[in-house]
Amino acid sequence: MLFDSIAYGPIHSRRLGTSLGMEIMPLDHKLCTFNCVYCECGWNSPVLHPVLPTREEVKTALETKLQEIVNGQCLDVITFSGNGEPTLHPDFAGIIEDTCALRDRYCPSAKVSVLSNSTQLGRPDVVAALRRCDNRILKLDAATDTMMRRIDLPVNEGLTVARIMEWLAQFDGDFTLQTCFLRGEHDGQPIDNTTPAELEAWYRTVEKLRPKQIMIYVIDRKTPEEHLEKISREEMERIAAPLRAKGFDIQISA
Ligand code: SF4
């Protein structure tokens, strides 16, 4: 499933409410630094010269959309996600600046949110732009290197959970941590971030990072790897319980 326009919706998001979606990656294929086994956009496709919408095109598309909808509907959020990793856009910081200005002008109550896989948090420009947003929703699917690599298949095979944690810690807890729970198999390797050992490592990580909110979710649509199992609502409640008991704000989408 790919998004084929720069500004789309509004749609009702399971996690965010009434959301105007923003696509700043290529409109005809996915571009990402991960290749998650559960990605709704499918597997990465090797494209030598991906064409991204320009900062000006993004600004125009957003302004047009906001002019269309602002009198009729109330937006909860303007959300950057879609066909890959939005922080890869070379003008990401400028796009966020324009978006905040347009939001202030047309729909001041809407939040600006970015869903990111956390892999570009070593770049100061990306961190500064994310700090300007209202919500930074940052992915960490597993707290062990083995499971993170099996689930997310990072393009940089040397990426470690320790490095991602170091980057996430820059926000002093002012972010939403996002984790997809799943079981299954890929390339003959078991995938399961719900084992007692994996959960123990994930709980410890959450307690160290102390995110202001945690979103945990399950696979919801067709996945590129077919051998994956959806975790039940009951099990997700059990996963959330120990952290809820310690006062963490956890939302479950299942
Ligand atoms: S980080 Fe998001 S876009 Fe990238 S592969 Fe994973 S699910 Fe897909």
Domain locations in the chain? 7-253
- Parts of the chain with a pLDDT under 50: none
- The yes/no answer on whether domain 7-253 falls in CATH 3.20.20.70 is yes
**What per-residue confidence (pLDDT) applies to 72?**
60
Pocket test residue of 1, 24, 37, 152 for ligand 1, highest count of atoms within 8 A of CB: 152
- Per-residue pLDDT of 172-192, as tens digits, reads 999 999 999 999 999 999 999
Q: Please tell me the distance from the alpha carbon of residue 55 to that of residue 188, in angstroms, as a whole number.
A: 42
For the chain, what percent of residues have pLDDT higher than 90?
A: 83
**What per-residue confidence (pLDDT) applies to 207?**
98
**What per-residue confidence (pLDDT) applies to 132?**
97
Helix (H, G, I), strand (E, B) or coil at 252: strand
Report the nearest atom of ligand 1 relative to the CA of 180.
Answer: 7
Residue type, 74: C
- Per-residue pLDDT of 69-84, as tens digits, reads 866 677 999 999 888 9
Residues in the ligand 1 pocket, defined by CB under 6 Å = 32, 34-36, 39, 41, 84-85, 117
- Per-residue pLDDT of 24-49, as tens digits, reads 998 888 899 999 999 999 999 887 78
- What spacing in Å lies between the alpha carbon of 77 and ligand 1's midpoint? 20
Report the nearest atom of ligand 1 relative to the CA of 84.
Answer: 3
Rounded to 10°, the helix 124-132/92-106 angle is 10
- What spacing in Å lies between the alpha carbon of 63 and ligand 1's midpoint? 27
**What per-residue confidence (pLDDT) applies to 229?**
95
Please, are residues 92 and 125 in contact by the beta-carbon 8 Å criterion?
yes
**What per-residue confidence (pLDDT) applies to 82?**
80
Question: CA torsion 55→116→186→155, rounded to 10°?
Answer: 60
- What spacing in Å lies between the alpha carbon of 31 and ligand 1's midpoint? 9
